Every structure is written in C-alpha cells, then in structure tokens.
Structure 1
Amino acid sequence: MTPPVTALRNYDAVELRRLDVAHHLPAQADYGEIRDLGGSRIITRAEGCQFWDIDGKAYFDGMAGLWCVGVGYGRKELADVAHEQMLELPYYNSFFKTATAPAVRLAAKIAGIAGGELQHVFFNSSGSEAVDTMFRMVRHYWAVQGQPYKNVFICRRNGYHGSTVAGASLGGMSAMHAIGSLPIPGIEHVIQPYAFNEGFGEDEEAFATRCAQEIEDRILQVGAHNVAAFVGEPIQGAGGVIIPPKGYWQKVEAICRKYDVLLVADEVICGFGRTGQWFGHNTYGFTPDIITTAKQLSSGYAPISATIASRAIVEVLREKGGDFVHGYTYSGHPMCCAVAERNLEIIEREDLVTRTREVTGPYLAKALQRLVGHELVGEVRSQGLLGAVEIVSEPGTNHRFGGKEGKASPMVRDACISNGLMVRGIRDSVVMCPPLIVSTSEIDFMIDTIEKSLNQCLPALRAL
C-alpha cells in the first residue's frame, strides 16, 4: 500500500467527532454505540483502491465503498465532467414532458449496453428508488391491462432490495422487517439459492430444481392470476454473496414465462461489470423484463440509479397507461447523468469488464482457494469480483460458533479493518467486492489479510 497522503483540508478530528455524535445520524448504525465510541470512523481522502481516515490510517477498500466504486477513487476526469456540467446546467427536472441532454445521452448509452429488449430507462437517485420505481411500474403495467389484482411480488428470504418501505418489504431480511412492521401486504418470500446453508447435500441440479420448485409452488398457492413479478438479485450481495447453483436462473425464467409473471433482476450490485459481464443476468444466461441498477453506474461519484424496462412493458404503458404519475425531484439530474456517462466510458475504455472476467475474477477465485483447509473456513465462493469466505466452527460442516449465526464474522471483520482491510461481515461470511481496477497484488493483500485475521481471531472464537 502507498504511504498515507495528506488530506486536501485540515480537519480537526476531535471537533468532527464531537459534531458527529451531536448531530449526524449515519446509515444502518447503532446510535448508542456510536455515542459510546465517541464518534464514527471519519474518512477524509481516497485514491485508487485505498482510503484514509482522519487519523491518517490507510485502508485497502475491499468493498468498493458500498459495492459501488468500480473505477476507483481520485478520477479527476469525473470531477471535471461534474464541474463542467454544473456550470452549463446544474439542474433541471424531468417532469412534464421535459428532459436534459445528459439524461437523454445517458439513457441511450445504457440502452446500448443493456441491448436486446431492455431499451427504456427511468432515472432515480439510489438503488432503493430504482426498486420503488420498478414496484410501481409493474403494478401499473398489470392494472392498465385490466388486471389490478395481479399485484403480488415473490421474492427471496435474505434478499436485499433497498431501505424504503417497498424495497425493505421486497427484501427478505428480518432485521429490516422489524423496523416499520414490514413487509407490506402483497409480498411473498421463498427459499434463497444458498446451498451451503439451505442444501440437503443434493447436487447443484437438484438444489436448483428444489429452489425453483418452491417459486412455482408459491405462484400456484397465491394464484398465477394474482402474481405480478418475481424479483431477485443475480447474486445476493448484501445477503452474503450468495451465488446460485447452475441452471437456477433458467429454471426461474421458465416458470415466470409459464405463468405470465414478470421477471425482475435487481442488478444494483451486479450491474456494470461486477460479475465479469455487463450485467449479472448476462453471466447467468437469463432475460429479465425489468432490471434495477445503481452503484457502478456512476462508481459512487454521483447519486444516480436507473430502472430499465423492456420494449414490451413500455409499449403497454404508451398505449394504455396514460400519465405514469411517478418521479423524483432529482430524476435525470444533469450533473449526475454526465458523470455516469463518463464513468461508463471509462469502464469501456479500460476494458474493465473483460479484465474482471478474464484476469482479476479468476485470480480472486484462485487466491480464495488458499483459504480452503483453514480450520475456520467452511467454504469460499466468488463470481467476478464478488467473493465470500464462510466461517464455521467445525471444518467440513456448516456449524456456527455459539450455535448461532452472526457471532464470528463481526470479529473477523473488525480484525481485518484493524489490519488495514475494509471488508464486511454478513451473517457468518466475510465478503469482499473490490474496485474493478484492483490489481492481482492487491487481491493477494486481501486474501493474506483475511487469513491473518482468521488466525488472530481463532483463540477468541474457540472460547465462545
């Protein structure tokens, strides 16, 4: 790792931490814990695949921020584009038959990348908003065809689809459902394709069939005439980098077509190169009717997301839908669109999707194999530049420390962070999602640091 770099501004660490506790409510945090710690970890600078905190400590960013910083930090080119656009047209809305040049250009760019029938783009500011747009679009699509009762969504346990009321309801995370009395009505959850936890020892084909069969059974239970869509992430990212068995998505697609159910791919994490193809559905060989995207669309340099719909859906909305009474103040924000377009150009110019598929993705998969056989590791898995290390109390099993999920990974995660590597602990997996620009030597650093951290945590874990 390169030496620490002085931040562009002189920050008073003590004062910022005081203000953080006094006024700032960060996302997905225990506010009492932050108060007791005396403030959050405050980040002041980043470059390439690294960032620095206010105390000058360097970290390798094994999570690409929050699954998003594909082209790495410090891209002056993106800052320049933002500056130029803000001088020319800093803002205008997309309501009432209005558009801006950056929004139109970006929509065309995304349609060209998506290809096929996915040709129509609605802009939002976050992945959660992209999901909300999809939710309303799907229900509207069926309603204008005289089927307002066809409004039930089938999703997966432990899936993640954002933090809004609709998104958190579609997601299958019990901790999120506990806040706000969720899920809302009209949402069903079925098995996740998580063989390590949910498998009965069957082969991939049998497990894929069982998971798909549960979707079909739920459609029949609810009534196909009531089911609007099946929604799933190609790879469940926030659920722990859950990689589906071979054939799973083809089986799911066939079921959706059989019962006239829309197929929605939540590509917020997988989209724009993360899996080694432009989209996760390309990697797994299925064709969705709608996809939701965000994160690597702008590499986190600007808040923007896109809901991308097929020609068939939009044709119905054009002919029968009337006004689609939905939108946000910042839909199609010109600066965000300009930054996103240039970000996609960088991904293309540097051939980062091919590099992920042919170089760094395979290298990560091979490097993870070095952890196989460690007494704390039950499984390693990866696709492209998404990876996970499953922590177990007994080799060759899926047994957890203390007999309960979630005790081991926070400990190992914190050790990794202390050792200069930012990763996440999800359930009992340590997960990683480095920037698309990551080098093979940086991948080695990630895996070596995880191994070091596992060894450091071994005595404390054995004491549980």
Structure 2
Amino acid sequence: MINMEHTTLRDRDVAYQIHPHTNFGAHETSGPMVMASGRGVFVTDETGKEYLEGMSGLWCTNLGFSEPRLAEAAARQFARLPYYQNFANKATEPAIELAENLIRHAPAPMSKVLFQSSGSEANDTAMKLVWYYHHGIDKPEKRKIISRQRSYHGTSIATGSLTGLPHIHRDFNLPISGVVHVSCPHFYRNALPGETEEAFAARLADELEQTILREGPETVGAFIAEPVMGTGGVVVAPNGYFEKVQAVLRKYDVLFIVDEVICGMGRTGHWWGSTAYSLEPDMLVSAKGLSSAYLPISALLVNEKVYSVLKAQTAKIGLFGHGYTYGGHPVCAAVANEVFSIYRERDVIGHAKKVGDYFQRKLRDRAEHPLVGEARGLGLMGALEVVADKKTREPFAADRKIAASVASFAAEAGLNVRPLGDSVCIAPPVIITEAEIDLLFERLDVALDKAFQTV
C-alpha cells in the first residue's frame, strides 16, 4: 500500500486509477496532467500552470469552467430534493421542466423524452427502442442498425459496436451481430480523383441503399449518424449528403437516429447540428453540453411515430421494461434547466454563431501551414489534418504520431487540444470570445511550427 501522505497526486493516480482511451504503460511512465481549477475558458493544473481549454474537456463544458448559476442551481436542488427516481409513475419538477425545454427547442417535431446519465446510455437506449418499436409494428426481424466508419456513439457493448473506430472493437469481441458500417463521408480522404462533393454524396447514398438491399430491407431497422463526426476527427458531411441519405431511409422505412451528444447545445452555431443540415430524426440523443458537463445527464427524444408504438407496446406487455436509477436525476435536471435559462437570457446560440464564424475563418487560415493538409469544421468545432505531403495528401506513418506531437507542443504553450488519428481537434467552450480565439490560434501556431521542425 502506498503511503498517500508522502506521494504526489500523480503517483497516487498511477497507483490506483485506470484512464479511458489511454496507453497504460505510457501513462505509468509520464503520469497524468492533474487539473486543479477552472475559470471561464481556462483551466489550471496542480502546478499553477494555466491552459486555454481548447477541447471543452470532452466537447462538453460549453459554458466554461466557472458558471456560478449552475453551481447555485445544483445547491438549491440538493437542499430541496437531492434524489428521486422516475420509475412507475414517479416524477420530479426539474425532470418535467427539462423534458419541456427539450421538446420546445427540438430541431424537428418530437413527442417525448427519456432520461439517462450519459451519451452511451442514451444511444444504447435508442438501439433497444429500435427493436422494441419494430416488435410493436410486427416486424421484429427489422433489427439491424447501420452506422458509419469513424463514427463515435459510445463504448458500451451496444454503442461500442455502433462506433466505427477499430480500437473500440479490437479484442472486445465487437461489433456485435446486427451492426453494419458504411463509409465515412470524409471528402478530403475518401473522394475519388476528380469527384465533386455532390457526386461523392450521391455515391455514399447509393452505398447506403445497396447495403440495405444486400442486408435485406426487411431486416434493417435504423441508421445512426452524428451531424458532424466528433471523435472521428470532426468530419463534415459533403454538400447534399444528408438530403440524399434521408431519402434512402424514407424509401426503405428505416428509422433515423441523430446523435447530437457533441453537436447539440450550440456547438455548431445552432441549437442542434440537425438544424444545420435540415435533419428530421425519429430519435435524437442529447448529452454533454446539456448540463455544460457540470453533472452527468443525457436525454433521448422520440417523435410521435415512435412514441405511439411504445405506448401500444406497454399496453400489450403491461409496462415499459427499461430504465436507469439515475435517469432524470433532479439535481442534474435542475442544472440542465439552468443551462437552458442562461442560453435564452444571454443568447448563447447567437454568440456561438458569431464567434463560430470567426473561429472557422481562423481555422481555415491554418490550411496554409506546411504541416496541414486540410482545415475543416463547423461552428466551434474544427480539425487540422496533418500530412507528410500537402500535394499528394500522403499521411505520416502512424508511429510518427505527428498530431500527438502538435498537441504536446500546444500544452507546453498553454493550450489543450486533442489529437485524433492524423487530426488535431479543437472545440473550445461556446462562451469563448474573439480575443480568446486569437490567443488559441497564437498558441496553436507555436505548436504547429515546433512540430514541423521535427519532421
């Protein structure tokens, strides 16, 4: 047993904690970056060094790290009713109000809300409801879910299967049967020579249709997609892609699940990423920014088509055999309601649109850097893809880890960004100012230049 009185926080972390998405051996050598406090868009580590938080934690602290109204909302609800469950006809005022807020601000007509604690849980629930729904319309064989390569929908057994990243599957016996992946809509990497964005989008929509036909339309229950792929590297769909995809889904009566875990709550400069692409989901998943990540909560919204069948199912079976202990937790819901109040009172969406446009201009200026092959993004999410050769788009060998090198140099300069594959990803809190965006890119420029000197 380590004597904690005579060891550092880093030593104790290495001794006792497992970190997700981390190489354990490398972590034991280097130790963690231990964060101690936050202020606005900045965080400070245990040594007192301050960083501009360029990833909003994990795409989620939209209102920054020191919003007193969220702490006060939590304290009020803790004092009034710290917990109650929502099973078997029970309810709390915060959960009722939050469901109303979500339905009122939904990007398409939705009927009801089901609460969970994480994006993974919400996407897992969506998958279950696809099966439940199709049993309800006497098509139980319609259970396959189509997802996309490089997508990210969580890491549970079900959502890890939906996620289209190889390291999420490898040696976990994933994906489970019934999950099918189609191509990632990354025009820069996956378009054919001379292919336009419209032609690329048409080809991917045709691939989706051919996949449905190959699997059997009578077996395909749903298609799931993020409006903009986050963890896959901030992949923005090409022009016309979602219009063509939705036409295919309607043709074969396939439900559309829109994963707004990252894109929702202003990240794209809209309340929802769905608005940017005129998406019409049958189910919509929200998390992360829903509470600005101050407390864990997620929500699954379903439209009336889906809900009416769920209702009939509960009449047939006697009850809805699904739920989570912490679903609709009153303290988490109270914080999320305060987020909605702040967004409305301060026009956070309008601010996110304005500074998002500025962020995108600054991001695209970095496409001129000799290390950058593509600068892409929407709103306040972006990525710079590093390449060995700008003309041929040749990537660096994986073991070079150039994107990770950029992120390391950025941390030295006082900026946290996230390397994902060959991409350096950036998603600052949506409250960021133009002056803070300037500072972000000044520090990122230092990192890019230092990384370029190593190649």
Aligned to 1:85: 77
For residues 64-94 of structure 1, give each alpha carbon's deviation from its aligned partner in whole angstroms, at most 9, with x where no partner exists: 1100011111111111110110111100111
**1:174 to 1:86, Cα distance in 2 relative to 1, 3 A:** same
For residues 26-74 of structure 1, give each alpha carbon's deviation from its aligned partner in whole angstroms, at most 9, with x where no partner exists: 222222222222x311101001000000011110000011000111111
Aligned to 1:138: 130
1:395 alignment partner, one of 390, 408, 432: 390
Runs of 4+ in 1 over 6 A off after TM superposition: none
Q: Compute the displacement of 1:406 (Å).
A: 7.0
For residues 307-339 of structure 1, give each alpha carbon's deviation from its aligned partner in whole angstroms, at most 9, with x where no partner exists: 111011001111234422111110010000000
Contact 1:92 1:334 in 2 (8 A): yes
Whole-Å Cα distance in 1 between the matches of residues 6 and 269 of structure 2? 40
2:62 alignment partner, one of 70, 94, 107: 70
Aligned to 2:374: 379
Contact 1:406 1:428 in 2 (8 A): no
Aligned to 2:28: 35
Whole-Å Cα distance in 2 between the matches of residues 215 and 80 of structure 1? 48
Q: Are residue 183 (structure 1) and residue 179 (structure 2) matched? A: no
Whole-Å Cα distance in 2 between the matches of residues 410 and 318 of structure 1? 49
Whole-Å Cα distance in 2 between the matches of residues 15 and 166 of structure 1? 38
For residues 157-182 of structure 1, give each alpha carbon's deviation from its aligned partner in whole angstroms, at most 9, with x where no partner exists: 11000010101100111000014110
Q: Are residue 345 (structure 1) and residue 341 (structure 2) matched? A: yes
Whole-Å Cα distance in 2 between the matches of residues 32 and 268 of structure 1? 30
Whole-Å Cα distance in 2 between the matches of residues 406 and 301 of structure 1? 36
Q: Which amino acid aligns with 1:230?
A: F
Aligned to 2:268: 275
Q: Are residue 432 (structure 1) and residue 426 (structure 2) matched? A: yes
Q: Are residue 244 (structure 1) and residue 237 (structure 2) matched? A: yes
Contact 1:294 1:305 in 2 (8 A): yes
* C-alpha RMSD of the superposition: 1.5
Contact 1:378 1:397 in 2 (8 A): no
Whole-Å Cα distance in 2 between the matches of residues 62 and 189 of structure 1? 30
1:96 aligned counterpart, secondary structure = coil
Q: Compute the displacement of 1:13 (Å).
A: 9.8
Aligned to 1:416: 410
For residues 364-406 of structure 1, give each alpha carbon's deviation from its aligned partner in whole angstroms, at most 9, with x where no partner exists: 111123212211111111211011111111123321123x487
1:284 alignment partner, one of 273, 277, 283: 277
Q: Are residue 355 (structure 1) and residue 348 (structure 2) matched? A: no
Q: Which amino acid aligns with 2:418?
A: R
Whole-Å Cα distance in 1 between the matches of residues 187 and 6 of structure 2? 45
Aligned to 1:366: 361
**1:12 to 1:425, Cα distance in 2 relative to 1, 3 A:** farther
1:228 alignment partner, one of 192, 217, 221: 221
Q: Name stretches of at least 5 consecutive residues in structure 1 with no aligned partner.
A: 1-10
Contact 1:150 1:227 in 2 (8 A): yes
1:153 aligned counterpart, secondary structure = strand
**1:269 to 1:178, Cα distance in 2 relative to 1, 3 A:** same
**1:12 to 1:296, Cα distance in 2 relative to 1, 3 A:** farther
Q: Which amino acid aligns with 1:339?
A: V
Give the stretch that moved more between structures: 234-243 or 196-205.
196-205
Whole-Å Cα distance in 2 between the matches of residues 13 and 123 of structure 1? 43
Q: Which amino acid aligns with 1:346?
A: I
Contact 2:384 2:423 in 1 (8 A): yes
**1:168 to 1:406, Cα distance in 2 relative to 1, 3 A:** farther
2:100 aligned counterpart, secondary structure = helix
Q: Are residue 96 (structure 1) and residue 92 (structure 2) matched? A: no
2:368 aligned counterpart, secondary structure = coil
For residues 417-450 of structure 1, give each alpha carbon's deviation from its aligned partner in whole angstroms, at most 9, with x where no partner exists: 1111100111111110010101111111222222
Q: Name stretches of at least 5 consecutive residues in structure 2 with no aligned partner.
A: none
Alignment of 1:433-452 (within 5 A): 433-452=427-446
Whole-Å Cα distance in 2 between the matches of residues 429 and 40 of structure 1? 22
Whole-Å Cα distance in 2 between the matches of residues 334 and 370 of structure 1? 45
Whole-Å Cα distance in 2 between the matches of residues 325 and 301 of structure 1? 29
